[in-house]
Chain A
Amino acid sequence: GAVVSQHPSRVICKSGTSVKIECRSLDFQATTMFWYRQFPKQSLMLMATSNEGSKATYEQGVEKDKFLINHASLTLSTLTVTSAHPEDSSFYICSAGGGDTEAFFGQGTRLTVV
């Protein structure tokens, strides 16, 4: 089946620095991808919808200047956490597909800000 790959799987960064997470659709083209954040023992919270060739759509309460999303090609979306702080430490997950077909999720990226 289709695969969505995320990289890196784990990252530790210093407070104030930026971190980029990549999400690739390996064998299909995805005009739309989604980014989620998951805190320990909680469910996935949708952060934004990444649209190929246009601006991302952010959910209410998500700072678009802090979580920069770029979807420059049909197989790659990136999420950059800018000026990261310890409270940004979380599990970030991307996905593609859904609706009347199955959605495919990346393996997730564990971000730790120290």
Chain B
Amino acid sequence: DAKTTQPNSMESNEEEPVHLPCNHSTISGTDYIHWYRQLPSQGPEYVIHGLTSNVNNRMASLAIAEDRKSSTLILHRATLRDAAVYYCITNFGSNYKLTFGKGTLLTVNP
């Protein structure tokens, strides 16, 4: 399974952009890159996913390196509600299993 490496924690100020990095140097050519986030005592919430091209949705943008060995989740204007643990996942088994790493705890300061 492809492993991911994320910083344990990051801090941001409200209304500023946040760039959350993820390294996945062993990713295979057909693995998608997924990002989920989890608030305390809640199930994870989908944020964004992509394969090779950069992706944008209403929540965030995903910038994927050309060699696909790393990616960056971009929150364009952080809000207090964005404070959560963000998980970057790239390994998918035959049944689409999602294997979670430790994630990045994002703190947003008012």
Number of A-B contacts (CB under 8 A): 63
- B 73-100 binary contact with A (CB < 8 Å = 1; else 0): 0000000000000010000100111111
> Is the pair B43, A49 in contact by a Cβ cutoff of 8 Å?
no
Which residues of chain B are near A104, meaning CB under 8 Å? 46
Q: Does A103 contact B (CB under 8 A)?
A: yes
Tell whether, in the assembled complex, residue A102 and residue B49 are in contact, meaning their CB atoms are under 8 Å apart: yes
A91 touches B103 (CB 8 A): no
The CA-CA distance from A97 to B49 in the complex, in Å, is: 13
Inter-chain contact A103/B87, CB cutoff 8 Å: no
Cβ of B102 < 8 Å from any Cβ of A? yes
Q: For the complex, is A67 an interface residue (Cβ under 8 Å from B)?
A: no
Distance of A100 Cα from B49 Cα, bound (Å): 8
Cβ B41 vs Cβ A103 within 8 A: no
B45 to chain A, nearest CB (A): 7
- In the assembled complex, the CB of A60 is this many whole angstroms from the nearest CB of chain B, namely 13
Count of A interface residues, CB-CB < 8 Å: 28
Which residues of chain B are within 8 angstroms of A105 by Cβ–Cβ distance?
Answer: 36, 43-46
B43 A93 Cβ-Cβ under 8 A: yes
Choice from A6, A49, A99, A102 contacting B46 with Cβ under 8 Å: A102
Q: What distance in Å separates the Cβ of B73 from its nearest Cβ neighbour in chain A?
A: 14
Give the Cβ gap from A12 to chain B, nearest Cβ, in Å.
15
A84 to chain B, nearest CB (A): 20
A43-B103, A99-B92 are known contacts. Are A106 and B43 too (CB-CB below 8 A)? Answer: yes
Picked from B34, B42, B102, the residue with its CB within 8 Å of the CB of A103 is B34
B34, B95, B100: the one within 8 Å of A102 (CB):
B34
Q: A102-B34, A103-B34, A104-B46 are contacts. A95–B98 as well, Cβ < 8 Å?
A: yes
Would you give 6 A-B contacts (Cβ < 8 Å), ordered by A?
A44-B100, A45-B100, A49-B97, A95-B98, A103-B44, A105-B45
